[in-house]
């Protein structure tokens, strides 16, 4: 089976940043991507809030990320889908490309699959996707030259994309269910100052109509419950996002909606699986936060991989080994660990000293978390005996 130290699923800003940091840390890195490297920023017309890049199109910034990752020798592989499984504590990634299915093994996995825009779910939406209903202003805006169109939503994406769409459309209605937009003040000010934009507050889209292409939408005022018709040629949906978590759904802990839960090291609930970028539960989903997540995840994965390789060589590969497990946050245990190292040196013995606090998941998995400090013996990779250590006098006895 093909093996890699680090497999990154997703080639957006989080995945590319993880690849850059992973390669610079000396890891063997493989990136799996089902679309175009760069992720959602390929669908953004302008990026003006990424530090040191005062202005660039989304596709230009995506190319910068990709080129930077390739500079360090990152392998980016196109696949249709990826699925992560655990087999005897091994992380296996099953990929499909066309009719071909392959399996990879990784020491660590970073899930950087991002998110996608949510559908509205109203009558006529599904039937008109690609025929006037769109989720990408950059992709489809030019098709609506001199037409009146509607944008649904009230956040940053909706308001900013509505402003962009005025480059093509003769009029842009922004339909929002509340009485004010939720976007940044600057974005709102710019949109409201645009003579082509007309807000439609306290309203929701009930139905999208048209024979073939979109011709009309039915909207309902949520305060009066009155319905009205709005003739438009297109409807752009920006009503929130959903995580692309399919590759680890049900495997790692997630909050309502599927957003993956991590700690500040981007570790998920499964040892050796990390998550970065828009797919994880977080306050802000922007290019800069995705890139930051990717860097943290890669360095945490590098530390994990190095620890795993070291621990495997130290504890599981020898025919027999006795190792001291202790907690580095307990001063008494730290002094005991120092004494064990001195004892080993004085007697010419090999007694690895393992920090159970730093390697908490492995310690818990072995059932040692509540037994530290302890001298633990392994025979041919299998835990054989746990000897509690309370003081220096126990060391010699445990080794006897």
Query: Who's near 316: CB < 8 A, 6+ residues apart?
Result: 378, 381
Catalytic site includes residue 179: no
Pick from 262, 274, 273: nearest CA to 90: 273
Pick from 271, 265, 237: nearest CA to 253: 271
CA 23 vs CA 7, 267, 304, 310, 347: distances in Å:
11, 19, 15, 19, 41
Q: Which of 140, 244, 245, 355 is catalytic?
A: 140
Q: What is d(CA 351, CA 340) in angstroms, rounded to the nearest whole number?
A: 8
Catalytic site includes residue 319: no
239 within 8 A of 152, measured Cβ to Cβ:
yes
Q: Which of 28, 45, 136, 394 is catalytic?
A: 136
144 within 8 A of 170, measured Cβ to Cβ:
no
Structure letter (DSSP) for residue 337: H
Catalytic site includes residue 122: no
Q: Which of 80, 139, 338, 392 is catalytic?
A: 139
Q: What is d(CA 80, CA 99) in angstroms, rounded to the nearest whole number?
A: 10
Read off φ and ψ for residue 107, nearest 5 degrees: -70, -40
CB-based burial label for 258 (10 Å; 0-12, 13-18, 19+): middle
b/e burial code for range 115-142 (CB count within 10 A of at least 16 → b) = bebeebebebbeebeeebbbbbbbebbe
Helices (H) and strands (E) in the chain, counts: 9, 21
Catalytic residues: 136, 139-140
């Amino acid at each position: 089976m093909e093996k890699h130290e680090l497999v990154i699923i997703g080639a957006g800003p989080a995945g590319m940043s993880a690849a850059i940091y992973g390669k610079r840390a000396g890891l063997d890195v493989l990136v799996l991507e089902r679309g175009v490297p760069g992720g959602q920023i390929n669908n953004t017309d302008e990026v003006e809030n990424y530090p040191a890049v005062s202005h660039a199109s989304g596709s230009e910034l995506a190319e910068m990320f990709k080129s930077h990752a390739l500079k360090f020798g990152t392998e980016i592989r196109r696949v249709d889908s990826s699925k992560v499984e655990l087999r005897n504590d091994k992380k296996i990634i099953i990929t499909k490309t066309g009719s071909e299915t392959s399996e990879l093994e990784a020491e660590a996995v970073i899930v950087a699959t991002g998110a996608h825009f949510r559908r509205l779910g109203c009558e006529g939406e599904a039937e008109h996707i690609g025929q006037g209903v769109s989720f990408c202003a950059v992709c489809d805006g030019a098709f609506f030259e001199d037409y009146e169109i509607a944008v649904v939503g009230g956040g940053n994406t909706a308001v900013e994309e509505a402003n962009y769409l005025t480059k093509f459309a003769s009029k842009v209605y922004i339909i929002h269910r509340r009485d004010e937009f939720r976007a940044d003040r600057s974005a709102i000010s710019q949109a409201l100052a645009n003579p082509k934009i007309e807000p439609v507050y306290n309203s929701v889209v009930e139905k999208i109509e048209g024979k073939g292409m979109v011709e009309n939408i039915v909207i309902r005022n949520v305060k009066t419950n009155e319905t009205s018709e709005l003739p438009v040629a297109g409807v752009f949906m920006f009503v929130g996002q959903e995580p692309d978590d399919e590759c680890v759904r049900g495997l790692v802990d997630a909050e309502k909606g599927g957003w993956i839960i991590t700690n500040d090291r981007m570790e998920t609930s499964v040892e050796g699986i990390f998550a970065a970028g828009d797919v994880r539960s977080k306050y802000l989903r922007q290019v800069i936060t995705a890139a930051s997540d990717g860097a943290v995840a890669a360095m945490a994965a590098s530390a994990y991989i190095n620890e795993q390789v070291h621990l495997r060589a130290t504890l599981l590969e020898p025919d027999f080994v006795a190792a001291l497990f202790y907690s580095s946050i307990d001063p008494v245990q730290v002094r005991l660990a120092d004494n064990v190292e001195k004892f080993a040196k004085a007697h010419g013995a090999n007694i690895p000293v393992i920090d159970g606090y730093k390697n908490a998941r492995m310690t818990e998995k072995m059932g040692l978390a509540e037994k530290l400090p302890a001298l633990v013996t392994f025979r041919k990779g299998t835990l054989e005996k746990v000897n509690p250590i309370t003081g220096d006098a126990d060391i010699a006895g445990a080794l006897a």
